[in-house]
Amino acid sequence: MKQVHKRLLAWYETQGRHDLPWRNTDNMYHIYLSEIMLQQTQVNRVRDEYYPQFLEKFPSLEALAKAPQEKVLSAWSGLGYYSRARNLHKTAQIVQTALPKTQEELLKLPGIGRYTASAICSFGHEQAIPVVDTNIARVIKRYFALLEAKESRVWENARAFVNAQAPRAHNLALMDLGSLVCVPKNPKCAECPLEAECLGKTEAELYTQRKKTQYEALDLFYGICIQNGKIALELSTEKMYKDMLVLPRVEPIEEDFLTVFKHSYTKYRLQVYLYRLEEVREDVRWVELKNIKEAPISSLTQKALISLDLSE
C-alpha cells in the first residue's frame, strides 16, 4: 500500500489542480463554501464567478449570518439548487463565528451531509478519514472492482485506502484522478498511478453504467408586466424556489404572446412561454430592472429577462 500511496501523491504533486483557491487556504468558511457550491456546479464557474463574488459580499461567517436571506439568495442567483444557499445561511446563523471540527457535530448542521462533513474535516483539519464524492467513488469502485457496490461499501474501501500520513493530499489526489484520468468514459489507464494494482481497469466502464434519466417535459407560462422601469415579481411558494422572486404565472392568451425558450431544471425539460401582462396582484414586488441583479431571482427568471433584452 505504501508504494501505491507514494505513486498517487507523486502524481498529484505534478498533475493535481493546485491552483484552486479553496485548496490554498486554511479558512474553514472558505473551504465549506466551496464544497457547498461545488456540489452541483462546475469547478470553473465556481472558481471564476460565484466563489469570489460570494466572498466579496460575505467575507466571513459572521457577515453571512448577519445578512438578510434575500441578499444571500440574490448572491446565489444563477447557481440553482437554492436550498444550498438557505442552508448555508442557516448554518452561519447557528454557528456564528466558527464551524465545528468533528464530523458528528458538522452533520447536525443544515445542508451538511456525510460528504461535506468529511471534506471539511479532511481538507480543513487534515483528519485521516475518507472523502467520497462522485469522482472518488468511481476510482474506488474501479480500483477495488466493486461492481454494483452499495455506497457504504465504497466508503469502507475508501477508509481502508486512506493514507494516514497525508490524508488531505491523498483525498485531493483521488478527486483529481477521478476528474482528470479515471473519467467515466475511456479512462486513461496508461497515465494512471494506480494502474498496476487496479482490479477494474480491463472493464472500467462497467463500473459507471447508469440507469438512463427519465426526463419530464413541462410547459410553463409566465407574465411580463413592466411599469416605470420596474418589473412585477412574486414571492415564490414553490419548494424549489422558496423565498425567491419569480415571474407571475399566467393563463396563455395568444395575442399577448412574447417569446418562448427552453430551460432545464433537474429532471425537467421546460418550454417557457412569456406573455405580456397588464394587470398583476396587489402583493407583487416591483423591482427596478436596473437593479435586477441584486434581487433573488432564479436562472429561469434571468433567462426570461435576457430573452426579452431586459437584462444582460
Point out which residues bind ligand SF4 (CB under 6 A): 139, 142-143, 181-182, 187, 189, 192, 194-195, 198, 200-201, 204
Name the nearest CA neighbour of 84 among 16, 21, 36, 137.
36
Distance of CA 212 to the CA centre of its chain: 22
CB of 18 to ligand SF4, least distance (A): 20
| Strand bridging mode 226-227 / 230-235 | antiparallel
CB of 156 to ligand SF4, least distance (A): 18
DSSP state string for 211-254: PPP--EEEEEEEEE-EETTEEEEEE--SGGGTT-EEPPB----G
State the Cα–Cα distance between residues 247 and 262, nearest whole angstrom: 16
Dihedral angle sign, alpha carbons of residues 142, 144, 147, 150:
negative
244 CB burial (10 A radius; 0-12, 13-18, 19+): buried
CB of 206 to ligand SF4, least distance (A): 10
Nearer to ligand SF4 among residue 185 and residue 239 (C-beta): 185
Nearer to ligand SF4 among residue 14 and residue 214 (C-beta): 14
Question: Which of 13, 35, 104, 255 is flagged as catalytic?
Answer: 35
Residue 35 annotated among the catalytic residues of the structure: yes
State the Cα–Cα distance between residues 146 and 152, nearest whole angstrom: 11
Nearer to ligand SF4 among residue 169 and residue 250 (C-beta): 169
Nearer to ligand SF4 among residue 85 and residue 182 (C-beta): 182
CB of 202 to ligand SF4, least distance (A): 9
Which stretch of DSSP H or E encloses residue 273?
Answer: strand 268-276
CB of 241 to ligand SF4, least distance (A): 39
Kindly list the catalytic residues: 35
